[in-house]
Amino acid sequence: MSNTYLTTSELSERIKYDARVIREQLKDSVLFEGVHYIRPFGGRKILFIWERVEEEMLHGITTDSLSIGL
């Protein structure tokens, strides 16, 4: 399966939330590292996995989605 990786700015455009809201309120409370986003190469940059973010918006957080990140 191919994933679509988005920067915070690109995700902001898709879901119509301000990038600051994503970084300060959604990240690590609704969107979790290893499930909804990654930090490639151990760096600071965050890339959101669009397919998983979209699934959470449509269906909410499930135990299946949380187990993907384990």
Structure confidence by residue, pLDDT tens digits, 42-61? 899 999 999 999 999 998 76
SS3 13: helix
Using 70 as the pLDDT threshold, list the residues of the chain that sit under it.
1, 61-70
Which whole-number Å values give the CA distances from 44 to 23, 55, 62, in the listed order? 13, 25, 27
Token pair 């909804």: residue: 36
SS3 3: coil
Structural domain tally of the chain? 1
Predicted local confidence at residue 68, as pLDDT = 55
The Cα angle at residue 61 between residues 47 and 27, in degrees rounded to 5: 35
Predicted local confidence at residue 70, as pLDDT = 47
User: Which range of residues forms the domain containing residue 10?
Assistant: 5-68
Q: How much is the pTM?
A: 0.81
Predicted local confidence at residue 60, as pLDDT = 79
